[in-house]
Amino acid sequence: MSRFIPAVERIQRARALIQKARDLPVPAEGGKYDFSYVAQVKAFLQDARDMVKFIPKTPSATAEIKEQVNQIFQEADRGDREILH
């Protein structure tokens, strides 16, 4: 059985994953259109979304936590546009 990860820690991990996607070096060959690069970036961003997607549905989620989750989704979307487009 996996251990429980508090919402605050999940939010921190999600932000770290988004930063990891931003810090991923663009390959010299193929540039930002290299398939493995695109797949890695999308995987990091999807993992960040998956890390927090159920937090708003928990009964203990405050309005502040829900707002932070919305910010994570916006950051992931913005990261996708900025990194890959």
pLDDT of residue 44: 98
21 in any annotated domain: yes
The model's pTM = 0.92
Residue of 22, 23, 12, 20 lying closest to 72 (CA atoms):
12
pLDDT of residue 36: 95
Residues 6+ apart with CB under 8 A from 3: none
Residues of the domain holding 30:
7-84
Ranges of residues in the chain with a pLDDT under 70 are 1
Residues 6+ apart with CB under 8 A from 11: 52, 55, 65, 68, 69, 72
Q: How many domains does the chain have?
A: 1
68 in any annotated domain: yes
